[in-house]
Amino acid sequence: MTALLVALGASVGAPARLLAGRVLDSRTHWGTLLVNLVGSAFLGWLVGHGVDGRPLTLLGTGFCGAFTTYSAMAVQSVDRGGLRGAAYAVGSVLGCLAVAWAGYQLG
Amino acid sequence: MTPPRLGVALGAAAAGGILGSLARAGLTSWLPVSDAFPWTVFWINVVGSAVLASVPALAAVRRTPWLGVFLGTGVLGGFTTMSTASEQSVALFEHHHVLTGVFYCAGTLAAAVAAVAAVGRWIPAPDRVAAEAAGVDE
């Protein structure tokens, strides 16, 4: 059951991230950044709201986990390189931390 | 290398995302972290980032763009996670493990970027550019 819920959430999350990337990513990866921010805020809210068990497996582990990505952010920032790449990486991590915290407080 | 058609790319991302997410869920449930530092997700994100950096080197990916989307955006995008990393940091801060939270946050980024840069030295620049154009790292 857990695997099915994870798979179900991921089957929506991963293609949604690809779509955001295709529409919004250019020299700066706005799509990936937006996806990471939205997913982090949503997971923070879920946990803050006390969501657990199967709903958290579906929405948190499955959807948010597949929707957001660490690997693409790391590769994109190294590919950009320099100050721009560093700003993107640090901005992503701090931004996601801030919205996850805000989501947790609101939840 | 041209990006695969949108329908094909979405299907490849979904299939890969399911596999990567199941691997992540499996690892975090089999290797639950008892002490304060979330080592399992730390390694998932660092290793997943390093492997994503190596995808453009695969000859099969250069020949078959949807395979790159399946492996990169799908499997590795689904395997690694920014949301869980952020939420775990928030949980550490909320439980007054502030220093651990800072080390977790900064340590994951430093290790992931260092691993990607180290792998990238072995990948020819044209392959990296082609993979990015094909949407391997979205």
pTM of the full structure: 0.95
pLDDT of residue B33: 75
pLDDT of residue B32: 79
pLDDT of residue A27: 83
Q: Of the given ranges (A33-42, A79-88, B32-41), which has the lowest mean pLDDT? A: B32-41
Q: Which of B12, B87, B64 is nearest to A42 (CA)?
A: B87
Instruction: Give the residue-averaged pLDDT of B94-105.
Output: 95
The set of residues, in sequence order, having a beta carbon less than 8 Å from that of B76 and lying 6+ positions away, is A69, A71, A72, B16, B20, B48, B49, B51, B52, B55
**Do the chains contact at B87 and A69, CB–CB below 8 Å?**
no
Instruction: Give the residue-averaged pLDDT of A51-69.
Output: 98
DSSP A64: I
Above pLDDT 70, what percent of chain B?
98
Chain B hits for A74, CB-CB cut-off 8 Å, are: 45, 49, 52-53, 109, 112-113, 115-116
Structure tokens at A15: 């293609």
> Which member of B22, B82, B108 has the closest CB to residue A36?
B82
Q: How much is the mean pLDDT over chain A?
A: 96
> Residue A46's closest chain B neighbor by CA?
B87
Q: Are A104 and A47 in contact (CB under 8 A)?
A: yes
The interface residues of chain A toward chain B in range 16-55, judged by CB-CB distance below 8 A, are 17-22, 25, 31-32, 36, 39-40, 42-44, 47
Above pLDDT 90, what percent of chain B?
78
Give DSSP secondary structure letters for B110-125: HHHHHHHHHHHTTS-H
Q: Mind listing the pLDDT tens digit for each residue in A77-105?
A: 999 999 999 999 999 999 999 999 999 99
Using the CB atoms, write b or e for A13-26: b if 16+ within 10 Å.
bbbbbbbbbbebbe
Distance of alpha carbon B19 from alpha carbon B70, whole angstroms:
10
Tell me, yes or no, if A87 comes closer than 8 A to chain B by beta carbon. Answer: no
Chain centre distance of CA A61: 11
> Residue A103's closest chain B neighbor by CA?
B87
pLDDT of residue B1: 64
Instruction: Give the residue-averaged pLDDT of B50-60.
Output: 94
Distance from CA of B48 to the nearest CA of A (A): 6
pLDDT of residue A19: 96
**Do the chains contact at A14 and B93, CB–CB below 8 Å?**
no
Instruction: Give the residue-averaged pLDDT of A53-75.
Output: 98
